Amino acid sequence: MQEFLNWTIDTIRDDKLIGSWMEERKYDWTPLVAKSITSLLDKGRSVLIITDDDREWFAQYILSNINSTKNQRPLLPFYDFKSFTHQIKNLKTESDIELIKDMLSISFPKGYTFWYIGRSQSVKSTIAKISKNSLLWIFDEEIPNSFTLRSDNEALDTQLLQMFRLYNKTLSAVLYAQIDVYK
């Protein structure tokens, strides 16, 4: 079984569809992804995907590909958060957020984690940022325990697709005991 950091570097170098820029960010990437996958596979938490308005296409891309039969692995609990509440843009108070958290606690007794992709200033980011288990791909702001990107980067969409490709490969590698993300 290969060590996660070394596997990540090898995968980035071997997969021509994953940009070399990811190797420069390996120390940002590996702890966040390890925590996310541990939450999903060991703790049985479902993943609720939230994006800002400009990245809704990316949420659909993730959801269309994460459980594709091409992956040849078990189906995993990834969901579009919009399907649970269309009122996310109306979150104004802590009470509103508590009501949503109560609903999610009932719906997901083993727990849940948010995967947020987008600008930090988006109202949609509010609920994901208050959860300590969230996987955050944040634009234009340094937030602890997040992967930061620049929204003015012309290659941003390509980078997101490359990041998803690496994340998806990591899921398969962990499921098939090729790597250990727990160390």
CATH at 113: 3.40.50.11670
Quote the CA–CA distance of 63 and 49 in Å, as a whole number: 9
Q: Identify whether the C-beta of residue 136 lies closer than 8 Å to the C-beta of residue 126.
A: no
- Confidence class for position 162, pLDDT limits 50, 70, 90: very high
Question: How many other CB atoms are found less than 10 A from the CB of residue 141?
Answer: 12
Domain of residue 163 covers: 2-180
Model's pTM, two decimal places?
0.93
What pLDDT, in 10s, does the model give residues 73-100?
Answer: 999 999 999 887 766 666 667 787 888 8
- Confidence class for position 183, pLDDT limits 50, 70, 90: low
Q: How many residues does the chain have?
A: 183
What pLDDT score does 87 carry?
Answer: 66
Give me the number of domains the chain comprises: 1
